[in-house]
Amino acid sequence: MTDTTPPLPEKARAAEGPWATAWRRLKRDRAALAALAVLLVILAACLAAPLYATYVSGTNPFATNLNGTITVDGKSRDVLEASTEGLGLGLTPIGPTWQLGPYMLGADNQGRDVAARLLYGGRNSLFIAGAAAVLCLVVATFVGVVAGFFGGLVDTVLSRILDVLWAFPIFLLAISLSIVLISQPLLIGPFEIRSGSLALPIVIIGVVYIPYVARPIRNHVITLMKSEFVTAAVGLGASPWRILWVDILPNVVTRIIVFVPLMLALNMIIESALSFLSIGVQPPDASWGTIIQDGQGLLYSRPAVALAPGIAIAVTVLALNIFGDGVRDALDPKSTVRIG
Amino acid sequence: MLFALLARLGQMVLVMFGISVVAFLIFFATPGADPSARIAGRNASQETLQQVRHDFGLDRPLPVQYALMMKRLFVTRDLTSFVNRGQKVIPTVMNAIPITLSLVCGAAVLWVLGGLVVGVVAGATRGSYVDRGLMMLGLAGISMPVFWLGEVANLVTQSRWHDTWAFSWVPALGYVPLSVDPWGWFKALVIPWTVLATLYVGLYGRVLRASLIEMMQEDFIRTARAKGIGETRVLLHHGLRTSLVAFVTMFGLDFGALVGGGALLTEVVFGLQGVGKLTYDALQTLDLPMILATVIYASFFVVMANFVVDILHAILDPRARDAR
Amino acid sequence: MRPRTTLAALMSGIALAGLAASMPAGGAHAQEGTPGGTMRLLAKAASGTIDPHINYTLQYFQINYMLYDGLVTFRKAGDETGFDVVADLAEELPEPQNDGKTYVFKLREGIRFSDGTDLTPEDVLASFQRIFKVSGPTSGTFYNGIVGADACLESPADCTLDGGVVIDDAANTVTINLTAPDGEFLQKIAIPHAAILPAETPAEDAGTTPVPGTGPYMIESYNPNEQLRMVRNPHFAEWSADAQPAGYPDQIDYDFGLTEEAAVTAIQNGQADWMFDPPPPDRLAEIGSRYASQVSVHPLTAMWYAPMNTNLAPFDDVRVRQAVNYAIDRSAIVKLFGGAALAQPACQILPPGFPSYVPYCPYTAGGTDTWSAPDMEKARALVAESGTAGQEVTIVAEDNTVSRAIGVYLQGVLNELGYKTSVQPISQNIQFTYIQNTNNKVQISISQWFQDYPSPSNFLQVLFGCDSFTPGSDASVNIAGFCDEAIDAKMDEAAALTLTDPEKSAQMWTEVDHAVTDAAPAAVLFTPKRVDFVSKRVQNFTFSPQFYWIMSQSWLQ
């Protein structure tokens, strides 16, 4: 029984290619389209961050603004307000004004505009998630296909390396790397990774999920190798490279595409966790995870600082997951790719 | 079969060895990781620093240090922490296990029950609004970072509405041993359980639904239906039983990873001194003996879970055995 | 082990009846409390070994002062007299003899350790040897002046301190000989690192095993992941209310693991009595208003500062270092620490209230003695003069909210001065050793310094003396790598004069303070204050400048 052959076109449109079928299915999926629209809106908003910072918030979201004042409802207020009650301990950053303008979502403990940082942070979060997904999928596909195609010792060695990677605590890797890089930048071929550059979280997140993607690809390739059409091709005397290019890879590609939105979603979450542990984006730059970290210290007096980026992550990841579902249903309805 | 089993066990040991070596090397590649100066104390003289380095064997070649550390971890079992000196690593990890187990088991009960209900209801009402609503809720649960959800739960139950009737029963953060006060144990853990389970309920519900739907199209179910067995009975009796293979596989992997310390962020947010928190603290202080112990402990569970699941899979699903 | 525990429990029960009668009577206390009850203290984490000769943390110094005694100690008082050294296990403070090189201590009679054994001169000798045998953190810096200490540092296992510490069992005296006069010697042996322990205490780090002491409490159990429990020492009878007063609570539990947020909540709800870690800034307004009666704020003899590496560009140019000092708005940084109620802007090395402190601030607009506002123009002019604008600078901060925020603030300042600046936060535990090692090429960092004992040398000589700079070592506490021969000579001279001409010495330290401040190896940022938040039932909160809250002197209502 071969339940892994590419999705067969529906009978009514026998002439249609698999990609066209997928696209047609996706277009019918209203939830997926709505999710896509939400994603595009979020992306556009994040890309417009400099405009927001210049024309709406009017403050530099990367510099401390400890002595600043703003005018709310005709009254001048300090951005960091000193407590006047009792012993007068503590300073509280200004809360959300809920008006389009400076400090719409309030300030963080350094007097910076949270709304502007949220938009800039979204850029970094999305960029890191995207770049890490690309890195991960490329490497994982290579490893998975090589392991599955050649089998034997190659497969055993690669699989065990994947095991090590999968069971290895990523936070140890991340913390060590971030310290190692302060002293000397790491050179990987033409790429240079410096501390504080976005490359660090990208590499860490990209590497961590390689086993997660490579394993199903490997299993898929192994099943394909045993399938009737490959056996048939071997019987017809096709060269291994031909089998790889013609029979294996095209089948693997649909799987990989199914992974893309799900990897993005996963990466968003892990990026926030890394930044929460301050291994990801370095100050004064922002990502949604670092804003949650900043807001953690203000959770009781100014919960908006931590809530806003958390909601942003949840909405983005939700949209990615819904869209990912749509893509999967459209491309590969029987796949059991797992999210989360 | 026996040989394959032994070979796989050997590979497992190899993987754990690899992990411990990598952790060890990463530690020594990190500038500022040398614990001598921290052990010696601020403003220590150079003689004292050398003495400490010598006492802790940090001036010996790396392979020797590694071998000694492994010997003290596995043979004499008296490896002590670099940070809290004199604190034996193995009993510390042992003491943390019940806390992690309490957290993970409680959450597992919640998410398995929740996942079953969500999966079966959604599978049975496929395509309806109930199905869509449940799936959307499940996705929402998956989409929230767990540490953030924990923080929000703390905000609500510990501060904002702590004084209201709804949450006045919530105790201060921290763990209460089951043997000391079962009711206190339950109260202290019920919110962490819920937060941790939120992620998995959605996940399991979705997987169960998908595999139920797939199964319902299989031939033997059609046969069962054709025999005139009621739809509910078909679903519960045949569909569910078959779908549980995927469910159990997933559960094994997740449970292994969580018991191994994967619930790190949940433990940190809720102040539970489990293995995850131990790992987190050891990483924060770069406490090599503790890092090695927790890393090996965690990898044992992860690798073990993989192994068990592979074996189960091979037994339950002949196709998988052919594939390897 | 089991029978022994039972016995100890039994004995403490018996002793309790006797203790209640001998509670501190009158004198030090305006009102009286009733002894008894269990106090619950909280800290985010334990603080390492409980060996009093090794542990070098504020957290355990505070409790070690009531668990152990030295020959002398600091007075347990809530005002500036808390900085005074008083006789503890010794009957009285000895006068230095032999030009300040010899001290003779006569031990008090009848003092017993918590394991029931009597205190003898033998214990004192063994304890001093033990400081070296366990490679105590300060063995090479505080106690290296004792005769025979060199040999002990060389080969700790064979330490005898022959001729350095001489005991006379018959006369019950201990004589300590120094290689050179040391005006700070009594202060150095007043800290817990010179605590007197039973002679049979193993010469290795005690780790988590309690060591018997002579104080009113003893450690019953210690698990760094859970709790440190202190109970009454059944063999304690008060001998001096100044040195070691009897305590009020019957038991003190120190619980570890709760975050600061959770600890504040627990204290508010009466589930705990005190927290070691400072309350999170987020909760200050709340506890300062609704719980004002339970809060005490005290200035510390400490500083937050930004050491600048005097051997690396651009900070190898004194003008650049001065420019940074001119440019920093210290009142802004104070806001990052929780506002004016929690910290005071500072710009000289010695903290206010410290011996030899005379207000001095060359780096302020308006030319006053204390800092009032930054002088950006002057700073820009200095940078322009140095011609270093455009260089790259990395600020190494600690990975916590305040240090990170200060890092970002300094980044703004340095960028404004024309540098290309980045901030690099590193895990709190690694940062302190990382910034010390010259191999890591740290240009500027953010750090703190808390006094060990109240002497100007503890700031000036330790942090900016040539001796504390060791290139390539993780233990090189002169982070700035500052070594000025003239200033160093003056510090030595001031230290030498402590005994013979204290006034002259104090004045010289003042001059050194100003000279170091002028040379600007660091930008001093502010003097922190400590916020203690206690539960409603804690009464008689006494804050010593030396060891903070004296927990044994508070009672529970």
Q: Which residue of A has its CA nearest to B20?
A: A168
Query: What's the mean pLDDT in B6-13?
Result: 82
Distance of alpha carbon B253 from alpha carbon B272, whole angstroms: 23
Q: Which of C189, C247, C286 is nearest to C67 (CA)?
A: C247
Distance of alpha carbon C548 from alpha carbon C386, whole angstroms: 44
Q: Is the model's pLDDT at C317 over the cut of 80?
A: yes
Listed by number, the residues of chain A in 110-149 with a beta carbon closer than 8 Å to a beta carbon of chain C are 110
Q: How big is the CA angle at C528 (ends C523 and C529), to the nearest 5 degrees?
A: 165
- Position A138 in a domain: yes
Judge: A90–C341 Cβ closer than 8 Å, yes or no: yes
Query: What's the mean pLDDT in B208-225?
Result: 74
Distance of alpha carbon C102 from alpha carbon A153, whole angstroms: 76
Task: Fill in the amino acid letter for A322.
Answer: I
Quote the domain boundaries for residue A149: 113-331
Tokens representing A136 are: 């991960």
- Position A256 in a domain: yes
Q: Is the model's pLDDT at C28 over the cut of 60?
A: no
Q: Is the model's pLDDT at A20 over the cut of 50?
A: yes
CATH number of the domain bearing residue A317: 1.10.3720.10
- Position A66 in a domain: no
**Residues of chain B positioned with their CB less than 8 A from the CB of C258:** 172-174, 271
Query: What's the mean pLDDT in A119-124?
Result: 92
Listed by number, the residues of chain B in 137-176 with a beta carbon closer than 8 Å to a beta carbon of chain A are 139-140, 142-145, 147-149, 151-152, 154-155, 159-160
Q: Which helix (H) or strand (E) holds C132?
A: helix C121-133
Partner-chain residue, chosen from B38, B84, B158, that has the shortest CB–CB distance to C429 = B38
| A247-256, B304-313, C59-68, C415-424, range with the lowest pLDDT | B304-313
> If you average pLDDT over every residue of chain C, what do you get?
89
- Position A126 in a domain: yes
Whole-number percent of chain A with pLDDT over 70: 85
Structural domain count of chain A:
1
Strands A80-82 and A91-93 come out as: antiparallel
Give the confidence band of C529 by pLDDT, cuts at 50, 70, 90.
very high
Burial B76-106 (b: 16+ CB within 10 A, else e): eeebbbbbbbbbbbbebbebbeebbbbbbeb
- Position A336 in a domain: no
Q: Provide the shortest C-alpha distance from residue A277 to chain C (in Å).
A: 9
Q: Provide the shortest C-alpha distance from residue B85 to chain C (in Å).
A: 5
Beta bridge partners of residue C305, listed in sequence order: C447, C524
- Output the pTM of the full model: 0.85
- Position A123 in a domain: yes
Question: By the CB < 8 Å criterion, does B31 face chain A?
Answer: yes
Question: By the CB < 8 Å criterion, does C287 face chain A?
Answer: yes
Strands C165-168 and C173-177 come out as: antiparallel
Q: Is the model's pLDDT at A332 over the cut of 70?
A: no
Distance of alpha carbon B135 from alpha carbon B127, whole angstroms: 10
Q: Which of C524, C181, C554, C211 is nearest to C362 (CA)?
A: C524
Q: Which pLDDT score, from 0 to 100, does residue B135 have?
A: 85
**Residues of chain B positioned with their CB less than 8 A from the CB of C206:** 86
Listed by number, the residues of chain B in 37-96 with a beta carbon closer than 8 Å to a beta carbon of chain C are 37-38, 40-49, 51-52, 55, 80-81, 83-87, 92, 95-96
Three-class secondary structure of residue B137 per DSSP: helix
Q: Provide the shortest C-alpha distance from residue B269 to chain C (in Å).
A: 8
Tens of pLDDT, residues C232-273:
999 999 999 999 999 999 999 999 888 888 889 889 888 899
Q: Which pLDDT score, from 0 to 100, does residue B306 have?
A: 78
Give the confidence band of C39 by pLDDT, cuts at 50, 70, 90.
very high
**Residues of chain B positioned with their CB less than 8 A from the CB of A318:** 139-140, 143
Distance of alpha carbon A143 from alpha carbon A257, whole angstroms: 17
Q: How far is CA C488 from its chain centroid?
A: 24
Query: What's the mean pLDDT in C343-352?
Result: 93
ipTM beyond cut 0.90:
no
Peptide bond into C137 cis (omega under 30): no
Q: Is the model's pLDDT at C491 over the cut of 50?
A: yes
- Position A223 in a domain: yes
Q: Which pLDDT score, from 0 to 100, does residue A6 have?
A: 44
Distance of alpha carbon B82 from alpha carbon B176, whole angstroms: 28
Q: What's C279's DSSP letter?
A: P
Q: Which pLDDT score, from 0 to 100, does residue A9 have?
A: 42
- Position A118 in a domain: yes
Q: Which pLDDT score, from 0 to 100, does residue B8 have?
A: 78
Contact B35, C475 (CB under 8 A): no
Query: What's the mean pLDDT in B153-163?
Result: 78
Judge: B55–C135 Cβ closer than 8 Å, yes or no: yes
Q: What are phi and psi of C527, to 5 degrees?
A: -100, 115
Whole-number percent of chain C with pLDDT over 90: 68
Contact C480, C522 (CB under 8 A): yes
